[in-house]
Amino acid sequence: MYPEESTSQMVSDDRMTRDLPSFPLEESGFSNMSSSLNPARGDHEFFEDPPTRALDEHLVEFSEALRTVAKALRQVAEGKASAQAEAAIWKRKYELEKERNSSLKHQEATKIFHSGSREEETENLRNKSLVHDSSPEKSVHCCGKDGICSHETLGDGAADANSNKQRRMVTRKASFRLAWGCNGDNSGQHKHEVVSFEKGNITTAGRSSKQILLKWESQPQTVLILAKPNSNSVRSLCAEMVRWLKDEKKINVFVEPRVKIELLTESSDFNFVQTWKNDEEIKDLHSKVDLVVTLGGDGTVLWAASMFKGPIPPVIPFSLGSLGFMTPFQSENYQEYLDAVLKGPMSITLRHRLQCHVIRDAAKDEIETEEPILVLNEVTIDRGMSSYLTYLECYCDSSFVTCVQGDGLILSTTSGSTAYSLAAGGSMVHPQVPGILFTPICPHSLSFRPLILPEYATLRVQVPLNSRGQAWASFDGKDRKQLAPGDALICTMAPWPVPTACQVDSTNDFLRSINEGLHWNLRKIQSFDGPRDF
C-alpha cells in the first residue's frame, strides 16, 4: 500500500464520520456503526423522547396555565359581584340619609313659618338627630323616641311662605317607627341581646327575637292594591275596596295598569285611581306608597315583592288563594282589618329576601355580571331537560362545602321553608329566623342532608367546566336562566326585607298556617280507655 493511498483513505473516512449525524440513523439501522465510527461523540446521547411525549407535556403545562387563569378570573368576578352588592347597599344608605335630611329641613322650615319662634327651632333641632345608621342598636334614638326608627316624612320641596294651599297639596309619605313587643309589653323599648362573661362564665341576659310593632307617626295617605288576575271575585272585591278607601278614608289609591283598565271599563267613576306608565316609575313607587294591599294568595305576595327591587312598604295580604302561608287576613272582614292597620300599631313579620348575582362564564376574559335578582321564597338550580345529573360546586364564604350530584339544589329563605324546600325534605323554619336553607333535590347520596346556614353567609354555586350538562336557575319559580359550564351564582341576604302585617303576631300566624295549610302532625287522638301502666 502506498502512503498516498493510505492518507487519502483516512481523509475520506474522516469526512464520512463527520457527515453521519446529519442522517436519520434510527431509520437506517446504522446507529451502532456511527457510534463506532465517531468515538469522540460516542458518549453523547442522540436519542430524545418521542414527539408525542413532549407534546403531552406541553399540553399539561398549557392546561395548568388555563386553570390558573380561570381561577384568577373567577376570583375577580366574585370580587366584582360582592363589590357591586356592597356599593348598592351604601348607595341606598346615602339616598335614605339625603332624603331624611331634606325631610327634616322641610319639617323644621314649616314649623318655623307657623310658629315664628326661633326658640322652637333651636329646641327641635336639638331633639332630632340627623345621624342615620342601619343597626337597630344605633338607631333607637335617631328620632328622639324609643324603638327602631324608619323613614321620615318625604318632602317634595322647600316650604313656600306665599302659598299655604300648595303646601297642603304636597304628597308626603307617612312616617312610622318600629318597636319591640316583649312578652306582651308594647312599651317600645328595644331589648337587645346582652352577653356577659363575668368571672369567665358566658351568659345571655336577654334576646332580640321579639315581636316587631309598627306605629304610625303620621296618617297613611296612599295605598297600592295588587290583585290576582283572571278572578271575578278578586275583581269585584278590588273595586269595592277602592271605593271604600277613597270615600271613607280619603286615601289615594294606586293599582296596576291592567286593573285600572278593568275598573274604568266597569265605571268611569274610577278616574281618581292612579297607576304608572313604565318601569322607571315603578322604581320610585316605594317613595309614594305607604301600604301595599294584596288580593290573592302567596303568589300575589311574591309578585308584590318582585316589583320592589329595593325597600318595600308594609304589605297587608288578604287571603283569596289556595293555601295562604303568608296571607293571614280574610277578605270578608277587610274593612275591620284595614281600620285596625291604619290606626296602628300593628305586628309585622320581617320576611328576609335573597339577593342573587349571576356571573357568566367565569373562565373567560370577558366577565359579565348580570343585574341582581331578589327572591322571597327560593332560588332553584336544576338540570332542566338534561338527562345527566346536575353537577355543582358549592362554596360558603370562599370555603368549599360540597359537590352536588343529583337533580339540583334549593337555596331558600326561612319564609320559603314551607314551599319547595319542604317538599325536598327541608325543615320548616319560623320566618323571622334569619338564615339560608341549603336543600338538595334528589341527591345521589344517602348522606346528603339539608343544612341551615347563617344569614351573613355568602354562597357561591358554580357549574364546573368539566360538567357533562348545563344547569337552569329559577327565581321564585320564574325568570329561568341557563347556567353553562363556567357560570356561577352568588347568593347573599338582601338588606331589604318584606314587612308583612300579622293578624295576631308572627309566631301565632306561622303556627296557624302550618296547621291549617299543611295539617301538620294531624292524627286521631288515642282513646282514653284501654291498657294502662298503672
Cα dist from 405 to 30, 272, 334, whole Å: 59, 56, 48
Q: Rounded to an integer, what distance in angstroms lies between the CA atom of residue 58 and that of residue 98?
A: 59
Q: What residue has cell string 342598636? A: 137
Asked if 20 and 37 touch (Cβ cutoff 8 Å), the reply is yes
Asked if 492 and 85 touch (Cβ cutoff 8 Å), the reply is yes
Task: Report the Cα–Cα distance between both ends of the chain, in Å, rounded.
Answer: 133
Cα dist from 326 to 3, 456, 502, 512, whole Å: 116, 24, 9, 11
Asked if 305 and 494 touch (Cβ cutoff 8 Å), the reply is no
φ and ψ at 269, to 5 degrees? -75, -10
Asked if 299 and 325 touch (Cβ cutoff 8 Å), the reply is no
298 is catalytic: yes
Single out the catalytic residue among 49, 284, 298, 365: 298
Contacts of 5 by beta carbon, 8 Å cutoff, 6+ apart: none
Q: What residue has cell string 327651632? A: 121
Asked if 526 and 397 touch (Cβ cutoff 8 Å), the reply is no
Q: What residue has cell string 500500500? A: 1
Q: In degrees, to the nearest 5, what angle opens at C-alpha 63 toward C-alphas 459 and 364? A: 50
Q: Rounded to an integer, what distance in angstroms lies between the CA atom of residue 230 and that of residue 320?
A: 12
Asked if 464 and 391 touch (Cβ cutoff 8 Å), the reply is yes
Asked if 296 and 238 touch (Cβ cutoff 8 Å), the reply is no
- Hey, what's the cell of 451? 343544612
| Three-class DSSP category at 66 | helix
Q: Rounded to an integer, what distance in angstroms lies between the CA atom of residue 220 and that of residue 146?
A: 21
Q: Rounded to an integer, what distance in angstroms lies between the CA atom of residue 171 and that of residue 157?
A: 10
| Three-class DSSP category at 441 | strand
Per-residue HEC secondary structure of 221-284 comes to: CEEEEEECCCCHHHHHHHHHHHHHHHHCCCCEEEECHHHHHHHHHHCHHHHHCECCCCHHHHHC
DSSP assignment of 464-521: -TT-SS-EEEEETTEEEEEE-TT-EEEEEE-S--EEEE-SS-HHHHHHHHHHHHH-TT
- The residues assigned a catalytic role are 298
